[in-house]
């Protein structure tokens, strides 16, 4: 078995991962339990990778689909954690001070 040749490009880092995040966020419009959101991101990442970005090589599509979905889930979790920490820090600084 020969490993697939996988070339990352502009599409991978700048378009595919934010697209997975955006599509996953659009799924939050529907009444879906939050525990299924990472699974939806994974399915979307694999779908974009297999059918659009690496449509001529299934193994490369599977490999990069894992990266798309993992990067999207990690980026969203990191941004959410940072945002919540920033809000909590702002509440801590203004606590007890008159406006």
pTM for the model: 0.76
Q: What pLDDT was estimated at residue 62?
A: 92
Domain of residue 85, residue span: 10-93
Looking at the structure of the chain, the number of domains it has is 1
Residue 98 falls inside a structural domain: no
Nearest of 58, 66, 65, 64 to residue 1 by alpha carbon: 58
- Per-residue model confidence as pLDDT tens digits over 70-87: 999 999 999 999 999 988
d(CA 29, CA 15): 22
Q: What pLDDT was estimated at residue 90?
A: 76
Residue 89 falls inside a structural domain: yes
Residue 67 falls inside a structural domain: yes
- Per-residue model confidence as pLDDT tens digits over 18-56: 999 999 999 989 999 989 999 999 999 999 999 988 888
Q: Predicted confidence band at 94 (pLDDT cuts at 50, 70, 90)?
A: low
Residue 81 falls inside a structural domain: yes
């Amino acid at each position: 078995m020969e490993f697939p040749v996988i070339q990352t490009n502009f599409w991978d880092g700048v378009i595919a991962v934010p697209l997975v995040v955006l599509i996953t966020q659009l799924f939050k419009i529907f009444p879906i339990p939050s525990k299924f959101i990472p699974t939806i991101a994974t399915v979307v990442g694999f779908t974009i990778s297999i059918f659009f970005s690496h449509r001529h090589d299934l193994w490369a599509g599977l490999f990069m689909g894992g990266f798309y979905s993992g990067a999207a889930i990690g980026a969203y979790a990191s941004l959410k954690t940072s945002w919540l920490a920033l809000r909590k820090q702002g509440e801590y600084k203004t606590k007890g001070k008159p406006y």
